[in-house]
Structures are given as C-alpha cells and as structure tokens.
Amino acid sequence: MAKIKIASFNCENLFIRYKFSSKLSDKKKEEAVKNGFIIDTFMFERITDKEKAITAKAIKETKADIIGLIEVENMDTLKNFCTQYLKEYKYKALIDGNDPRLIDVALISKIPFDNIVTHQTMKLEGQSKPVFSRDCLEVNFTISGKPFTVFVNHFKSMLDKKAKTSAEGRANTAPKRKSQCKAMLKILKDKYSGSPGNHPWIVLGDLNDYNDAKTSLSALYQSPWMVNLLEKELPAVENWTHYWDSAKVPVAERYKQIDYLFPSKSLYKKLIGKPEIVRKGIITKATKYQGPRFPDVTDKIGASDHCPISAVFNL
C-alpha cells in the first residue's frame, strides 16, 4: 500500500519573467493575447526572484508528492521554476487553457503519471462557449499497481468589473461556477460509469467561492461521491486558505476558504491524519495568522494571497 501526500496551491501569477503592466489598458491586453505579442518593456513588468523564491518555499513546505498548481504562465515557466527551485518534482503537466490573462492550471509530481487529459473545450448542452475558465486538467497515475486520478481546477473568479460591491460580483459570476460544478460531476460520471465514489480520485484547486448559504458550489458539497476535506476535518475558524488584501472588502470576508481538496468517498476513507494549511508565506497584513513566516515575507511581498493545502492518503 502506497502512502502519498497531495496538495493544491494557487501560486498567484507565476510568470517566470514578465506580467502585463498595470498601466496597460484592458483593451491592449486583450489585443495582445488575441493577436500575439513580443516581450517589450512598455507592455510588461518583471516578477522578482524574491517572490518566486518565497513561492517555492511554500510549495516545499507541503512536502507533497503530487501538487496541483493554479495560475502558472506556461510549461516553459513551470520547467524553469522547478529547475531553479524544485528539482525534486521531475514530472510536470500543463496544457495552455482558456484564460485571457494566460494563466493555466498545472501539476507537478515526484511520481510519474500515465497520461493527461484536457477538458478545456468541453461545452454543456445548450452552451456555445467552453465551460471551464481555464481548464479542468485530468492527470492519471498508476501507483503501486492501482489507478489514481487528480483533477486540477480554477473556477470562475468572483471579481466582476461591473459590480459595485464584492457581494454583487460574487452573485453575478455564480452561474458560471455552477456550470463548472455541473461539468465536473459529468466528467466524473462519464469516467467512472455512474459509480464515481467507489474509485480513487481527488478534485482540487481554487474554486473561487465560499461554503455558505449563498455558495455556487453546492452541487459539489452535496455530491454523494466526494468530501469537502477541510470542512470535514478542520474547525471552521481554521480552514481559511485565502487572504483578500482590500479595504473595499469587509474584514469578515478577507479570510475565507476558496481552495479545496475534494477526495472521493473511497479515498477519504484512507485519509491519514488531518489536512494541513501552510501559512508561512502569507503577507504580514494577514494578522489572523500569528505563526512564523518565511524570511523576506513582508506586508506586500509573499508567496501568494492563497495558502497551500495538503493531505495524506493510503492508496
């Protein structure tokens, strides 16, 4: 029986060299993505090595065997980042997806995988556009002779430029996330012939909504096939994974869980210990966390506005 540790982390704009300039208009950004672009100093800003190093420390701190990563620029970025900081993760999966900002979902692993499947072109019945904002990246493993699958997701953001409040933005974007939940369940049902809960797999990633009465993720929470691991195993006061650094957001909404591990029911039965949340890389403004931080973390510089989450299972 193999013991593996699985993690998820939105590493927040892992652009190894450049990101779009904050001074560039949305129209110019959209045109650049649509038409292709070259690197020039008018369009891009540098990402500092210090930020990348802290991000890598947060990943290392999980000690995970398999990690789903969110907001990665491309495969070259991922290769370069791992070569520079995370050489132990020899196996990498990423397919360019649908995001107009060029951020993708990815996976890095110490364990070789068999194959990867993209669901970025998937459309639900009656819809003309792909359902996933980036992709649902399916990575299939055989570990100790047994099949195991990881589904890496990054659902639609709650941000809406037309909304006057964060609550309004959340409501306006909810239908898209509901469709993404529906699509995720369809993928599981199709893959596992109607009995998904009896197979070893995990859905993970940044699902961009809270677990409360107004959630758009209820189809996943209520599914008989899976378990919301952090909610199930940790007290509510401890399961926040994201710090929203904005004076426009009420304090109560600045510390929330929007990153998830949803193991299948059969995998959940093989959980070892409690899930873990690494907060050493969160900026110092997030005063709800009073523990140690990595060197070089400040009130502005951190690993991400998200925290890595992880859990150990027997397969």
pLDDT of 38: 54
Secondary structure E strands in the chain = 3-14, 18-20, 44-46, 66-72, 91-94, 104-109, 115-118, 136-143, 146-154, 201-206, 242-243, 255-256, 259-263, 271-277, 309-314
Pairing label, strands 91-94, 104-109: antiparallel
pLDDT of residue 114: 98
Per-residue model confidence as pLDDT tens digits over 136-181: 999 999 999 999 999 999 999 998 888 888 889 999 999 999 999 9
Burial of 137 (0-12, 13-18, 19+ CB in 10 A): buried
Beta carbons of 187 and 119 less than 8 angstroms apart: yes
Predicted confidence band at 301 (pLDDT cuts at 50, 70, 90)? very high
Q: Is the pLDDT of residue 95 over 80?
A: yes
Query: Contact 11/76 with Cβ under 8 angstroms?
Result: no
Chain segment 58-78, per-residue pLDDT in tens:
999 999 999 999 999 889 889
Residue 18 in this model has a pLDDT that exceeds 60: no
| pLDDT score, position 66 | 98
Higher pLDDT, 289 or 41: 289
pLDDT of 187:
97
Q: How many CB atoms lie under 10 A from the CB of residue 205?
A: 26
The tens digit of pLDDT for each residue in 96-139 reads 999 988 899 999 999 999 999 999 999 999 889 999 999 999 99
CB-based contact 254:217 (threshold 8 Å): no
What are the residue ranges spanned by the domains of the chain?
Answer: 3-314
Residue 41, pLDDT > 70, answer: no
Confidence (pLDDT) at 30: 78
State the pTM of this model.
0.90
Instruction: Give the Cα-Cα-Cα angle 206, 211, 217 (nearest 5 degrees).
Output: 65
pLDDT in tens, 225-267: 999 999 999 999 999 999 998 877 778 779 999 999 999 999 9
Q: Which two tokens stand for residue 19?
A: 């990101």
8 A C-beta contact, residue 262 and residue 226: yes
Looking at residue 231, what is its pLDDT? 96
How far apart, in whole angstroms, are the C-alpha atoms of residue 159 and residue 161? 7
Do residues 211 and 177 lie in contact, with contact meaning Cβ atoms separated by under 8 Å? no
Q: What is the pLDDT of residue 175?
A: 96
Q: How confident is the model at residue 9 (pLDDT cuts 50, 70, 90)?
A: very high
pLDDT tens digits, 179-218: 999 999 999 999 998 799 999 999 999 999 999 999 999 9
Model pLDDT, residue 19: 65
Say how many CA atoms lie within 13 Å of 8 toward its Cβ: 27
Q: Is the pLDDT of residue 37 over 70?
A: no
So what's the pLDDT on residue 45? 58
Q: Which fold has domain 3-314?
A: Deoxyribonuclease I; Chain A (3.60.10)
C-alpha angle 221-223-226 in degrees, rounded to nearest 5: 85
Q: What is the mean pLDDT of residues 24-32?
A: 80
